[in-house]
Structures are given as C-alpha cells and as structure tokens.
Amino acid sequence: MTITAIDVASYQTVAQAVDKRAQATIVKATQGTGYVNPLCDRQYQAAKKAGKLLGVYHYAGGGNATAEADYFLKNIKGYIGQAMLILDWERGENSAYGNGKWANDFIDRVHAKTGVWCVLYTGSEGAGQCAPYLKNKAGLWLAGYPYQNYPSFTPPAQSVFKSLYNTHGMNLVGWQYSSTGIDHSVFYLTEAQWKKYANPKSKPAKPIAPNKPAKKPAPKPKPVTTYTVQAGDTLSGIAAKYGISTQNLASLNAITNPNFIRVGQKLKVNGKAKPARVYTVVNGDNLSTIAKRLGTTADRLARLNGIVNKNLIYAGQKLKY
C-alpha cells in the first residue's frame, strides 16, 4: 500500500490543500525563527476536516538548531500528535546547508521535547550530508523530479527512482516526484504507519517496501518423449511429424550426420506428434498423383506407409501423409 500526498505553503491556496486526488496533506508551518506561514492553520484545518492524513514542516534557516526547533514546536502546539513532523533541509535560504549535524541537532531537540522523530525532507545531496547522523533515527522523504513536467498523481516506476537517486542508506518513506503548481509525492506507508510517525507515544514505524511488479512465470519446457525409428524414416520426416526443425532434433540427440539414422534407434523429441492424416486410395489413383494432390512426394508417401513397390497400391488402401 502507498499514500498519495501533496504539500502546500503560502504559495498555494486553502482549496489546493484539500485536493481530492491526495490522501495526505503536508503544510509548511515555519522557517528559521521569524516566519510563520500565514495560511498554515487554515490549510491545516481544511485538510483535517476533509479527512486527510496530516503533516507539517519547518524550513531550516541555518541559525541555531535548538532555537529553530523550539520555534517550530511553539507554533505547531495544536498539531503535535496529529501530524507527521518534518524538517525541510535544502539549499537556498539555509545557511547551514552542507552541515548534516545541524539537522541532527534539530531533530534530536524535537524528539527530546515531544518523543516524535521528524522525517527529513531533502534531495540526494542533502541525504548524503545527513545520513551519517540520521540514518538510524529519521525517515527520508526524498525530493527528485525525473521529468521536467509531470502533472500525474501516478508516480514513476520505482526503478526510475533507483536509477536516479541515492538515499545513502537512509530509510526511504516517501518520494516527491513532481512539482507542477503543487508538489506530488508517494509515501511507502500504510495509514496506520503514517499515524505512528505523528503519535509521540509510538516508536517510528518502518515503511512497507515499494510495490514491485509481479514476476512472469518461467515458460514451461516442452515435454521430452522418445520416438523409435521405423523403416523408411528420415530425420527430416520425424522432425516434421513433431513440429520441430531437423537441426533441433539432431542437436537434441547429438546426431552429427542427419542423413544417418538406424531402424530401432531411440530419439528424444520435444512436444507431441502431430495427429496422422490419412488418405483413402480410389480407383485410378497412383502414388504420384496422390502425392501431387497432397503437396508431398511419392517417395515420402512410400516411406511413411512402408510401400516397397511404388507402382502397387489398391483402392480402399489407407495412406498416411
């Protein structure tokens, strides 16, 4: 099971926070120690009323990590226990970017005061900075956009993620795969696991593995049977009877000279023999005219039917062909 999520900030509207295509809504709450999203509570309450799973995040400003954690918690007091808590770790307005210990100190402070482990939101580069400190503490919500414009709420294949992004050993819980007016993410969690991330009385839940495509069953091998060479048989005739090539039949039986087989020889053959077709001789027939009518040769008819004298057939005689 996976969860489709969106995240919103002051750039988005309250209406966007309740997009029906998403099961979860994550709202920007604070940044640094001096900014609160003016739409945060309206977006949060609308999403809550719509029955969404909830998350709130703090955009790291790079000042004092403890002070920023306290500022975040002060402004989300009513959401603790309801929403997943997230640290947004990215370049841009974060003066501490590059110092993974800062993210560790912020997350440790939040955990010490609430019992909740924050999820880390970042890209592959940021994951590399923070993994030495956080890979045994925080889940990773990784941002990575494989396509320039991807408005779909169906995420790209997991193989695309694996080919492009590096989690640096961190516990991947979500992937933000698109940013087209509103960010789209997939979380590899059940609803219960999401709520455990939010609940300060619970330990962090482990994500379920991303869905993998079912493996196609291996094709069943054709049954191998044996055929006993009869008088008049040729390797090509036996191969045609079983619907395989002369070359494959020779290879299956380690025959180096396809023109040499002996009566009574046991040959391994793949598959089942085609049902024999029968022609009934009528007055005026001879082997040559019958062969022409049936699209074969008089010699082959003679071999298949054990006819020694090709000039001697009789009306009512059954001929295999």
Ranges 87-101, 108-122, 248-262: which has the least confidence: 248-262
Residue 206 is assigned to a structural domain of this protein: no
Q: Indicate if the pLDDT at residue 216 is higher than 50.
A: yes
Q: Indicate if the pLDDT at residue 203 is higher than 60.
A: no
Question: Which pLDDT value is given to residue 236?
Answer: 80
CA 202 to chain centre: 31
CA distance 207 to 191: 11
Q: Indicate if the pLDDT at residue 286 is higher than 70.
A: yes
**Are residues 319 and 238 located together in one domain of the fold?**
no
The residue-averaged pLDDT of 113-138 equals 96
Residue with tokens 């391994």: 268
CA distance 80 to 66: 18
In terms of Cα–Cα distance, which of 136, 38, 144 is closest to 90? 144
Identify the band that residue 218 occupies on the pLDDT scale cut at 50, 70 and 90.
low
Please tell me the pTM assigned to this model: 0.64
Opening angle at CA 137, ends 134 and 139, nearest 5: 85
**Are residues 62 and 47 located together in one domain of the fold?**
yes
Q: 218 or 208: whose pLDDT is higher? A: 218
**Are residues 220 and 108 located together in one domain of the fold?**
no
Contact 184, 3 (CB under 8 A): no
Pairing assessment for the beta strands 224-228 and 266-270 based on DSSP bridges: antiparallel
Question: Which pLDDT value is given to residue 77?
Answer: 95
**Are residues 255 and 296 located together in one domain of the fold?**
no
Long-range pairs for 28-31 at CB < 8 Å and ≥24 separation? 28/56, 28/57, 28/59, 28/88, 29/56, 29/57, 29/58, 29/72, 29/75, 29/76, 29/79, 30/58, 30/59, 30/68, 30/71, 30/72, 30/75, 30/76, 31/58, 31/59, 31/60, 31/61, 31/93
Residue 178 is assigned to a structural domain of this protein: yes
Question: Which pLDDT value is given to residue 214?
Answer: 58
Backbone angles phi, psi at 70, to 5 degrees: -65, -40
**Are residues 234 and 292 located together in one domain of the fold?**
no
The residue-averaged pLDDT of 270-282 equals 76
Identify the band that residue 291 occupies on the pLDDT scale cut at 50, 70 and 90.
confident
Take residue 67 and report the two structure tokens written for it: 């002070």
The residue-averaged pLDDT of 183-188 equals 97
- DSSP of 25-62, one letter per residue? EEEEEEETTTEE-TTHHHHHHHHHHTT-EEEEEEE--S
Summarised one tens digit per residue, pLDDT across range 222-253 is: 566 888 888 777 888 788 777 788 888 888 88
Element (H, E) at 183: strand 183-187
Identify the band that residue 302 occupies on the pLDDT scale cut at 50, 70 and 90.
confident
**Are residues 194 and 321 located together in one domain of the fold?**
no
Full residue range of the structural domain in which residue 290 is found: 276-321
Q: What is the CATH number of the domain that holds 300?
A: 3.10.350.10
The residue-averaged pLDDT of 171-190 equals 95
**Are residues 126 and 247 located together in one domain of the fold?**
no
DSSP, collapsed to helix, strand or coil, labels residue 294 as helix
In terms of Cα–Cα distance, which of 4, 16, 15, 100 is closest to 53? 4
**Are residues 294 and 258 located together in one domain of the fold?**
no
Residue 96 is assigned to a structural domain of this protein: yes
Q: Which of 166, 198, 230 is the last residue of a domain?
A: 198
**Are residues 91 and 227 located together in one domain of the fold?**
no
Contact 51, 19 (CB under 8 A): no
Residue 209 is assigned to a structural domain of this protein: no
In terms of Cα–Cα distance, which of 87, 55, 83, 98 is closest to 185? 55
The residue-averaged pLDDT of 22-42 equals 98
Identify the band that residue 205 occupies on the pLDDT scale cut at 50, 70 and 90.
very low
Q: 218 or 114: whose pLDDT is higher? A: 114
**Are residues 147 and 10 located together in one domain of the fold?**
yes
Residue 207 is assigned to a structural domain of this protein: no
Question: Which pLDDT value is given to residue 204?
Answer: 45
Residue 211 is assigned to a structural domain of this protein: no
Take residue 165 and report the two structure tokens written for it: 């992004």
Residue 23 is assigned to a structural domain of this protein: yes
Q: Which of 198, 230, 245 is the last residue of a domain?
A: 198
Question: Which pLDDT value is given to residue 222?
Answer: 59
**Are residues 180 and 308 located together in one domain of the fold?**
no
The residue-averaged pLDDT of 298-302 equals 83
In the chain, what's the furthest Cα-to-Cα distance?
A: 110
Question: Which pLDDT value is given to residue 220?
Answer: 65
Q: Which of 148, 172, 198 is the last residue of a domain?
A: 198
Ranges 85-99, 175-189, 199-213, 282-296: which has the least confidence: 199-213
Q: What is the CATH number of the domain that holds 174?
A: 3.20.20.80
**Are residues 225 and 149 located together in one domain of the fold?**
no
The residue-averaged pLDDT of 252-261 equals 87
- Give the CB-side neighbour count of residue 219, counting CA atoms within 13 A: 3
Take residue 314 and report the two structure tokens written for it: 């009789």
Number of domains in the chain: 3
Query: Is residue 115 packed enough to be buried (19+ CB in 10 Å), middle (13-18) or exposed (0-12)?
Result: middle
The chain-wide mean pLDDT, for the chain, equals 89
How many residues are listed for the chain in this entry? 321
Ranges 123-127, 243-247, 286-290: which has the least confidence: 243-247
The residue-averaged pLDDT of 169-174 equals 97
Residue 298 is assigned to a structural domain of this protein: yes
Backbone angles phi, psi at 95, to 5 degrees: -75, -15
